[in-house]
Chain A
Amino acid sequence: MSQYIAGCLILLGGFFSVSAAIGLLRLPDALTRMHASTKVGTLASLCMLLACAFAFGDLDVFARCVIAVFFLLVTAPVAAHMIGRAALGIDGLAHLEKDHQLPQASATDTPQPLPHEGDARALPKEATPPRG
């Protein structure tokens, strides 16, 4: 019985990985492609590792599969956050300005990178209120 469950989980994970690859190929820009590619990180790998735990039926293998699933679930949001921030800095919201015609956006502006904690020069100096 556990072999049937493991086989169905492997087929389900293969379906998710193929659909994520099609999304990576067909979607229009970097952020929507990231939306597609995170499916293979969570759903496909989860299904495959769960199938592995079912197919072996061993406590040792089950513990290692749980560790791998936990590690994937912890690291996926961090990696997605960093890629998304970098993609936003590279694209510079150019497609959003083009699609939705933001009023303050002009076509000659060069895209500015997002300010982050390592780059104090990107923050406006006047933003800090005077003390006292």
Chain B
Amino acid sequence: MTPEVFLFECAVAGIGMITLAVAIAFFRLAKGPSFADRVIALDMMTVAIVAFAAVYAVLTGDSAFIDVVIVLALVGFLSVVALARFAERRQIQISQDANPQEEHS
């Protein structure tokens, strides 16, 4: 087995494992009981797709996919921060709607 064939086989196996991880995370995203579980699953899917792009760069020999990795890490971080802020504000809003007598205006 030449080194190139070994690297190709490992890249195909790695892509298969990352695809399995993304599928399981998508199951948690669809099922997740609370909103935080869905955000966590979405975060993990984004980072798994980052790893997928890195392996795909190895598989195709095209180094332009490393730029995809950097941009996807940035977009994933921003989306997770936005969703976490939204979850906190929605929780505060729900608790204020449930107890309106505690609201000091």
Interface positions of A (Cβ within 8 A of B): 1, 3-4, 6-8, 10-11, 13-15, 17-18, 20-22, 24-25, 30, 33-34, 37, 40-41, 44-45, 48-49, 51-52, 55-56, 58, 60-61, 64-65, 67-68, 71-72, 75, 78-79, 82-83, 85-87, 89-91, 110-113, 116, 119, 121-122
Contacts and interface: CB of A to CB of B under 8 A. Distances in A.
A118 to B, nearest CB: 8
Nearest to A52: B54
Contacts, number: 197
Interface of B: 3-4, 6-7, 9-11, 13-14, 16-18, 20-25, 27-28, 34-37, 39-41, 43-44, 47-48, 50-51, 54-55, 57-58, 63, 66-67, 69-70, 73-74, 77, 80-81, 84-85, 87-88, 91-92, 95, 98-99, 103-104
A11 B21 contact: no
Contact of A11 (B14, B70, B98): B14
A48 B14 contact: yes
Q: With a 10 A CB-CB cut-off, give which of B23, B51, B88 has the most chain A CB atoms.
A: B51
A72 B51 CA distance: 11
B3 A4 contact: yes
Tell me the interface secondary structure of chain A in the complex. helix
Q: With a 10 A CB-CB cut-off, give which of B3, B43, B58, B103 has the most chain A CB atoms.
A: B58
7 contacts: A3-B6, A7-B10, A14-B14, A25-B24, A45-B50, A86-B35, A91-B34
Given A15-B17, A24-B24, A68-B66, A37 B9 contact: no
Contacts of B17: 14-15, 17-18
